Amino acid sequence: ETGVTQTPRHLVMGMTNKKSLKCEQHLGHNAMYWYKQSAKKPLELMFVYSLEERVENNSVPSRFSPECPNSSHLFLHLHTLQPEDSALYLCASSHNPISSTDTQYFGPGTRLTVL
């Protein structure tokens, strides 16, 4: 069982669709993250959840809505996206939400294409 899993691995959606990305971590970690990775750009932190509470929202548009029902699962709900939202969406987790030196473990990502 890999540490952090994400589904689906690939997603194509229209601008009027509603879809959700799922992340699950099997590492017993307490913090989870959503990142966006666009071509030629750095990984951009979107959201941070610590013990199921959102502790960081990096000025992400409201068309992205995260949900963390428990410490092992993280969702990213998508609606009325734009073509420029096409990117690789990566989930990560770390053990200690307070420690600034904890290694983050990444999932394989969901490749999202918005038509």
Contacts with other proteins, residue ranges (CB under 8 A): 4, 31, 40-45, 48, 50, 55-56, 90, 94, 96-109, 111
Of the pair 16, 101, the CB lying nearest other proteins is at 101
Q: What residues have CB less than 8 Å from 100, skipping those under 6 apart? A: none
- Asked whether the beta carbons of 5 and 94 are under 8 A apart, the reply is no
Tell the smallest beta-carbon distance from residue 18 to other proteins (Å): 26
Of the pair 1, 16, the CB lying nearest other proteins is at 1
Of the pair 18, 26, the CB lying nearest other proteins is at 26
Tell the smallest beta-carbon distance from residue 77 to other proteins (Å): 22
How far apart, in whole angstroms, are the C-alpha atoms of residue 103 and residue 13? Answer: 33
Q: Of 103, 113, 94, whose CA–CA distance to 49 is shortest?
A: 94
Three-class secondary structure of residue 84 per DSSP: helix
Tell the smallest beta-carbon distance from residue 79 to other proteins (Å): 26
Tell the smallest beta-carbon distance from residue 72 to other proteins (Å): 17
How far apart, in whole angstroms, are the C-alpha atoms of residue 76 and residue 112? Answer: 12
Beta bridge partners of 19: 78
Of the pair 17, 104, the CB lying nearest other proteins is at 104
